[in-house]
Amino acid sequence: MLNFVVRRLLAILPVLLAVSLLTFLIASLLPGDLAYVILGDQATPENVAALRRDMGLDQPLWWRYLSWLGHVLQGDLGRSFRTGQTVLQAVGERIPVSLQLMLMAEFIGLLIGVPVAIACAARAGGAFDRFMTGSAFAMLSMPSFLMAILLIYLFAVELHWLPATGYVPFTEEPLANLRFFVLPALTLALAEWPGIMRVLRSDMIATLQEDYIALAKAKGLKPSRILFVHALKPSSLTLVTVTGINIGRLLGGTLIVETIFALPGIGRLLVGAIYTRDLVILQGVVLLVACGFVIVNFIVDMLYAVLDPRIRHGHA
């Protein structure tokens, strides 16, 4: 098992390196000189040249990459030239919002998707299965802004149960914080559960055809034990992958949902950085989000090993 962990860790190092290179290139190759962006249209050529020298922009690309990477490795991702905030400060402020949104959305998504998938697989082709598969498809094809508007209309405008927009930190007013998060998390979850449900359902249906399920029935085990113990675990590998990808994606913030519900998360930080051409923030945030994605996928790999002993022992 330790061997497995070490091998996986070694495998993600080149990935992280590639991520850093790509992130750097994206920011560097964007049209428009950073010095002009900072100095504005009043800049004189001398000012620009001086700033370029200060920022190292006159150096060759590979040198700039290496020196940036060197700073990054020391924990210095740079500082916004607009707000003066460091990347880590800006992300540190926003990440709790995106993290909470992600956790709540994924939790609600799994809470709906997993039981529905199991119920559908247990009676595949039955009335419930057909109805839920159809509903899942309908929800999957509904864009999140539409879902958000519908939910706001229903729960905020008509029923007055929940606030439409706003945010307070959990540490200040936990209850109000949760109320602010219900609708955005639900919006995301309603788009997440169909994917969760569909992969788990089809894996589960395949597993239920296995010999060992027939033997579990022949052993006289209770149907619930067959479904939850014998079938669910070997069927959850794809589910874990999908959940991992979802988490990675939501970690990077969800632009539309954060905007509609006025949540100050990573998504809005990124959009702001793009609009104001704040390349240092952009570059730093993209790098951190990509690293988060890689780490989540590393955790997913570890979960495979927890779920399937054959992977743990290097058999499969």
Give the shortest CB-10-to-other proteins separation in angstroms.
Answer: 25
Q: By C-beta, is 17 or 215 nearer to other proteins? A: 215
Give the shortest CB-225-to-other proteins separation in angstroms.
Answer: 7
Give the shortest CB-101-to-other proteins separation in angstroms.
Answer: 33
* Encoded tokens for 98: 């995106």
Q: Which residues of this chain interact with other proteins, rule CB under 8 A?
A: 210-212, 214-223, 225, 229-230, 233-234, 307-310, 313, 315
Q: Report whether 315 contacts 59 (CB < 8 A).
A: no
Give the shortest CB-195-to-other proteins separation in angstroms.
Answer: 23
Q: By C-beta, is 41 or 211 nearer to other proteins? A: 211
* Encoded tokens for 271: 């959009």
- Evaluate the CA torsion angle 59, 63, 65, 68 in order and state its sign: negative
Q: What is the 3-state secondary structure (H, E, C) of 117-162?
A: HHHHHHCCCCHHHHHHHHHHHHHHCCCHHHHHHHHHHHHHHHCCCC
Q: By C-beta, is 124 or 139 nearer to other proteins? A: 124
Give the shortest CB-110-to-other proteins separation in angstroms.
Answer: 20
* Encoded tokens for 87: 């990347």
Q: Report DSSP letters for 199-226, one per residue.
A: HHHHHHHHHTTSHHHHHHHHTT--HHHI
Q: By C-beta, is 29 or 218 nearer to other proteins? A: 218
DSSP helix/strand/coil, 165: coil
Give the span between the Cα atoms of 210 and 226, in whole angstroms.
12
Q: By C-beta, is 32 or 220 nearer to other proteins? A: 220
Q: By C-beta, is 102 or 307 nearer to other proteins? A: 307
84's enclosing H/E stretch is none
Give the shortest CB-213-to-other proteins separation in angstroms.
Answer: 8
Q: Report whether 275 contacts 255 (CB < 8 A).
A: no
Give the shortest CB-63-to-other proteins separation in angstroms.
Answer: 51
Give the span between the Cα atoms of 97 and 171, in whole angstroms.
12
Q: By C-beta, is 33 or 210 nearer to other proteins? A: 210
